[in-house]
Structure 1
């Protein structure tokens, strides 16, 4: 079988499914997963949209050839729904055991008798099965080209969890990372090395995040930002050099047209970030895109990442990343720092890190993508301008590297604890926290969730490639 397939499920869904399969009775139980599909060069992901639990004795009954089976009616109802909505159909049951599992001969015979017909009913959209042990999963996914694929399971919750057919030995970590491998272990370092992470916005905060990720040993980085450096970026953007801003042309004493020419020749922020990353890691793969993330082909690059750090304050960028998170089941962390000025006086200062897990409260649900700002950005060139918190476009927003560092460090720490499996079980799905240095307060926020939300609700959730993202043509 081919093994470049995975099933992705949210932490909440996994809690329901695991509780049903392993209630403590030592018996076998069943369910069906209805999944959206996302394909990329890294493989095919089946995104769990619905977990349909099979009721014991009603939907999951004694079998003729095997111990238990899903009833024909239960299968028919679910395959019809999948066919109607172009979703993949995955039957689920459990075996005994802990760290390894496989289908029985009876299971495989059942697949060979039934899955060709189900594949026809589902108009060629994949069908298949998963079998679970306590800490393991095996998959048998059938596709219209006549191939069968094994599959792993990824739980995008806090902590993050990956299940395979049997334990996969971790390579001994590169000695360069010895000090951090003492915390995360060889397996944790291997997770970092295999991760693909995006940073959207490479200004004061994003440049710090980019450097942190490279120094941690993340294997693949995607940097997206349309802007070039200007002289006011030098105190805050990691790795920025005076030569990057063409100081002879951008000096305040120069005529406006000369400064505009200098701005055109200044170094792109993504190139500065890539330079810093390559100084930190010889092995990191870096893709830089000096364009807006809301352009269709740029947004598509986000859809096979493992995590997205959003350090751009555009409402259009927030909406796009928010949609990717829930449509493709890819967690994101929105990061920022803000100095509010009212009548010339500082009213508030804070740094914020908001990690959003698919299926839980999102930026839209919590009023962080205001409609007025979307309208303004969609009808002007606001989204191309630098981040500002003051209405006058000729005045730069207040910003300090230390505030940015607080937000960036908290965001990357939360992500590290999550993927490294160090977040305690039972931790909230989302982690939103703000630091207010004027009052020395650290405030944790519990994000709200709206069931009818157009971003994290049923109109988009886990649809993968089947739905369009809120982008603009390139």
Structure 2
């Protein structure tokens, strides 16, 4: 089982300030975590950071302990909600592994936590070093503790702390690492990316992630290849369109032909399905290549519930609407939005609105009622589909991938904290970075909740009872 843990940069900062107050002594905290599983992966997402009072703990330079009644209310809370409990403490002396004292403490604490909570979920122990690096282990099925495969911190910079170096041998690793930073290829080989929409921007995006050496890529799309898609889906053919092959099947076949080790996990359904949400929920990064407000809203929810960095790709053609110039392009525009879970959202950035999400839902459930609402001006008109021009879509996809690489190994001259989104205008030859916007009050309360019922809190994602 591959077990990972994710937290936000803000949670990481809360931990760092609490664990390193400047006195050179160990300190401790608890993390209450939601969780989600898919196939052989389990992802813990930090929901609450519980700082254990320094004055109530016995703190030395090589160990920390506390009275049992200090954590009982939090264990009760974890039992009530079915949350994983993870102990965190610091090593002020920068010791880079669990100590013998840690081993004794974890063998005593973690079985008690498992018995107390009762649910069949992992519980763990993490150490933070002065530089902010984290390493951890977990207890789940059986009595042995195993290393967490990855601990990630989602912020303007994406910090990844793998348990060990990846041993895959990529022939292009040396030249790629020279460009973006030592260890880039080995890091990407450990990651699972998710792409929703595998057509216009999703197809070239997938190609780039495979060539970069991602370990696993989830691709989600319910549609088949059609003649009108052939100008923008890489590796598709007229024969595919004639046969009505699924886009995900065409993409998987092309990936297999490369003989590169990336594993493709295909989901031939819409995003609004349990199968798609389960597959996305354990990803390390997700990309949205969707047209609708509903799809983008769901992607934002996945990012929030499971603390996954989210890149949203949008492209628009500005064309003249009347006169002799009807249809003539005035500008080619696009935006790459980078969403840090727990901070701003596509809603607080005014990219999507719940009003239009409701309209799209009504259109699916009752087209006649939706048409009447439009006539009655209760809703604005729905947005049009993405432009079907491969050169534009490939440009936008490459911009998103390079933004990801900049956040894993910063190479830009400006800090990533100044880049909340990137806008481009090909008509004006302009590339503009916009700063982060205000936090989203609607989504922030759901940070790190993991898998709940119904999924993402949406009734339409209710799963049938066994």
Q: For residues 274 and 163 of structure 1, do their structure 2 counterparts lie closer, same or farther at Cα, with a shift above 3 Å needed?
A: closer
Q: What root-mean-square deviation, in Å, do the aligned CA atoms of Structure 1 and Structure 2 show? A: 3.5
* Mapped partners of 1:375, 1:342: distance in 2: 29
- C-alpha displacement at 1:332, in angstroms? 1.6
SS where residue 379 of structure 1 aligns? helix
Q: For residues 47 and 392 of structure 1, do their structure 2 counterparts lie closer, same or farther at Cα, with a shift above 3 Å needed?
A: closer
* Mapped partners of 1:411, 1:340: distance in 2: 21
Q: For residues 392 and 141 of structure 1, do their structure 2 counterparts lie closer, same or farther at Cα, with a shift above 3 Å needed?
A: closer
Question: Does 1:457 find its partner at 2:444?
Answer: yes
Question: Does 1:141 find its partner at 2:138?
Answer: yes
Decide whether the 8 Å contact of 1:171 with 1:186 is kept in 2: no
2:341 to 332, 355, 358: 358
Cα-to-partner distance string for 1:347-370 (whole Å, 9 max, x where unaligned) = 653111112122221123323332
Decide whether the 8 Å contact of 2:124 with 2:137 is kept in 1: yes
Hey, what does 1:260 align to over in structure 2? none
* Mapped partners of 2:437, 2:38: distance in 1: 32
SS where residue 90 of structure 1 aligns? strand
Unpaired segments ≥5 residues, structure 2: 367-379
* Mapped partners of 1:8, 1:339: distance in 2: 37
What is the TM-score normalised by the length of structure 2? Answer: 0.82
Cα-to-partner distance string for 1:383-420 (whole Å, 9 max, x where unaligned) = 9xxxxxx9799x97644323212211110011122234
SS where residue 83 of structure 1 aligns? helix
Question: Does 1:432 find its partner at 2:442?
Answer: no
Question: Does 1:206 find its partner at 2:202?
Answer: yes
- C-alpha displacement at 1:94, in angstroms? 1.2
After TM superposition, the structure 1 stretch with the greater mean CA deviation from structure 2, 43-52 or 171-180, is 171-180
Q: For residues 23 and 446 of structure 1, do their structure 2 counterparts lie closer, same or farther at Cα, with a shift above 3 Å needed?
A: same
1:216 to 212, 216, 225: 212
Question: Does 1:82 find its partner at 2:71?
Answer: no
1:12 to 7, 10, 33: 10
Hey, what does 2:406 align to over in structure 1? 417
- C-alpha displacement at 1:81, in angstroms? 2.8
Question: Does 1:294 find its partner at 2:272?
Answer: yes
Decide whether the 8 Å contact of 1:173 with 1:181 is kept in 2: no
Decide whether the 8 Å contact of 1:356 with 1:430 is kept in 2: no
Q: For residues 449 and 86 of structure 1, do their structure 2 counterparts lie closer, same or farther at Cα, with a shift above 3 Å needed?
A: farther
Hey, what does 1:181 align to over in structure 2? 177
Unpaired segments ≥5 residues, structure 1: 247-264, 384-389
Hey, what does 1:45 align to over in structure 2? 43
1:30 to 20, 28, 31: 28
* Mapped partners of 1:396, 1:362: distance in 2: 22
Question: Does 1:312 find its partner at 2:290?
Answer: yes
* Paired positions, count: 440
1:406 to 383, 395, 413: 395
Hey, what does 1:250 align to over in structure 2? none
What is the TM-score normalised by the length of structure 1? Answer: 0.81
Hey, what does 1:274 align to over in structure 2? 252
Decide whether the 8 Å contact of 1:306 with 1:330 is kept in 2: yes
Decide whether the 8 Å contact of 1:348 with 1:438 is kept in 2: yes
Decide whether the 8 Å contact of 1:137 with 1:153 is kept in 2: yes
Hey, what does 1:256 align to over in structure 2? none
- Give the alignment of 1:233-244 within 5 angstroms: 233-244=229-240
* Mapped partners of 2:7, 2:382: distance in 1: 45
Cα-to-partner distance string for 1:322-379 (whole Å, 9 max, x where unaligned) = 1111111122211121013463355653111112122221123323332343233323
Question: Does 1:376 find its partner at 2:359?
Answer: yes
